[in-house]
Amino acid sequence: MCGLVAMLLYPQERSPQQWQAIWDNFTQNLLANQSRGAEATGVAIASCLGPVIIEKQAQPASLFIQDQAYQTLPRYLSSDTVLIMGHTRRPTQGTPNRNDNNHPLQAGQVTGIHNGHIHNNETLFNQFNLPRYADVDSEVIFQLLNQVIQPDSDRWKHQNLVSHIADTLQYL
């Protein structure tokens, strides 16, 4: 199965040395997870403000971290950064050569990573008429969650994110 790495950060000012230590720690964890999946590697950086930054490639973490695209990611770290997540992929469905299949995945307002296999993904995509941008089974999780968090959704009426996640999980 795949490897998952995540660092939750409190949004605050940090020195360049602190950011370097955070990035080094994240990189070491990404490398440690390569044994759980070496077919693709991806990273997302989320902040309170601005878009989620995603970089992913069909290569093992040991090569991914040497790539210029990965080495420039720290420039997106700021006092507003709240999450850095990484994924090392061992595919169960969908070729890593199609980068849309690699994690992190985005579905509207939702960005996520997943470890496991969704056996009923085709049924769920059809049942809920969900858009599909990749061949990977994991996409259904994030498409469902994106659907339930929409404020104008007639089908879903809930008050908080925990309820939305619980409603999504009942179908998986």
pLDDT digits (tens, 9 = 90+) for 134-168: 999 999 999 988 887 776 655 555 456 667 677 77
Q: Which residue has the tokens 């994991």?
A: 138
Whether residue 31 contacts residue 3, with contact meaning beta carbons closer than 8 Å, is answered with: no
List the beta strands (DSSP E) in 48-141: 53-57, 81-89, 105-107, 110-112
Predicted confidence at residue 158, as pLDDT, reads 46
Q: Which CATH class is domain 3-169?
A: alpha beta
Where exactly are the structural domains of the chain?
3-169
Residue 14 structure tokens: 């940090």
**Both tokens assigned to 44:** 């997302």
> Model's pTM, two decimal places?
0.88
